[in-house]
Amino acid sequence: MSSIFSGRRTVQSIFATLALSAAVLSAPAHAQGTVTGNPEAGARKNSMCVGCHGIPEYKTAFPLLYRVPKIAGQSEAYLYAALQAYKNGERSHASMRAIAASMSDQDMADLAAFYAKAGK
First-to-final CA distance of the chain: 34
CA angle, 112 then 70 then 62, to 5°: 120
Q: Which of residues 21-40 bind ligand HEC (CB under 6 A)?
A: none
Residue 82 lies near ligand HEC (rule: CB under 6 A): yes
Sign of the alpha-carbon dihedral angle for 50, 56, 58, 64: positive
Residue 15 lies near ligand HEC (rule: CB under 6 A): no
Q: Interacting stretch for ligand HEC, rule CB under 6 A, among 5-13, 23-31, 33-41, 45-53? A: 45-53
**CA gap 106, 1 in Å, rounded:** 37
What is the binding site for ligand HEC (CB under 6 A)? 48-49, 51-53, 66, 68-69, 71, 79, 82-83, 91, 93, 95-96, 99, 111
